[in-house]
Amino acid sequence: MELHGYFRSSASYRVRIALNLKRLTAQHFSYHLRNGEQRSSAYLAMNPQGLVPTFRNATGDLLTQSIAIIEWLDETYPDPSLLPQDPLQRARVRSFAMVLACDTHPVQNLKVLARLRQLGLTETVVTEWAAWANQEGLTACEALIAGETGPFCFGASPTLADICLIPQLANAKRFGVDLARFPRLKAVASAAAELKAFSDAAPEKQHDAE
């Protein structure tokens, strides 16, 4: 299997965590997003969006979009499961994940921030935008799991929710967000840090880290 991504990409980070939790190995290929390598003709032939990650499975099939990749992994390699069996709780996990993957990360990713700079916004304003987007999403996530038992977002084991949360917290810190206002999320991060599957997936541990 192959994972085509970038060390700092939150979406690639999610898939790395999922692979590690499943105890699966993949060959990693890096595309430097700031240098535009994801827009090369060779990469666009795999992923017409020009986004990372792209995943190639053992039979050569290509998948894009981190959530779709992770759900394929979960359905193909079901142990350990990344989604609860109970339909209501499964929906809650997906809801939490989508707050981050659909409504938070996309409005503060590299592509959007680059466009804001092109429109003439100062670097200070661009950073404030990214911080605001993270604060909005994380505030909602803090409330969504306020009544859930830990140590992870939804109980004793990591789920898709945790896989999405940990990379987003890394983004938030990079943009100067004070995480002290999110004690429940910080507790999840502490639990995740104890697992090798999460720590080994961290951006600074990747072969292309800068």
CATH of the domain at 56: 3.40.30.10
> Alpha helices, DSSP H only, in the chain?
10-21, 41-46, 66-76, 87-101, 110-118, 123-144, 160-174, 183-193, 196-199
Same domain, 121 and 59: no
Residues 96, 70: one domain?
no
Q: Which DSSP state fits 8?
A: T
pTM, rounded to two decimals: 0.97
Return the pLDDT at 34.
92
CA-CA distance, 152 to 159, in Å (whole number)?
Answer: 8
pLDDT on residue 179: 97
Q: Is residue 210 part of a domain?
A: no
Which pLDDT belongs to residue 44?
Answer: 98
Mean pLDDT of 51-58: 98
State the residue range of the domain holding 59: 2-80
Of the pLDDT bands very low, low, confident and very high (cuts 50, 70, 90), residue 148 is: very high
| 13 and 94 assigned to the same domain | no
End-to-end CA distance of the chain: 25
At residue 9's C-alpha, the angle toward residues 8 and 11, to 5°, is 145
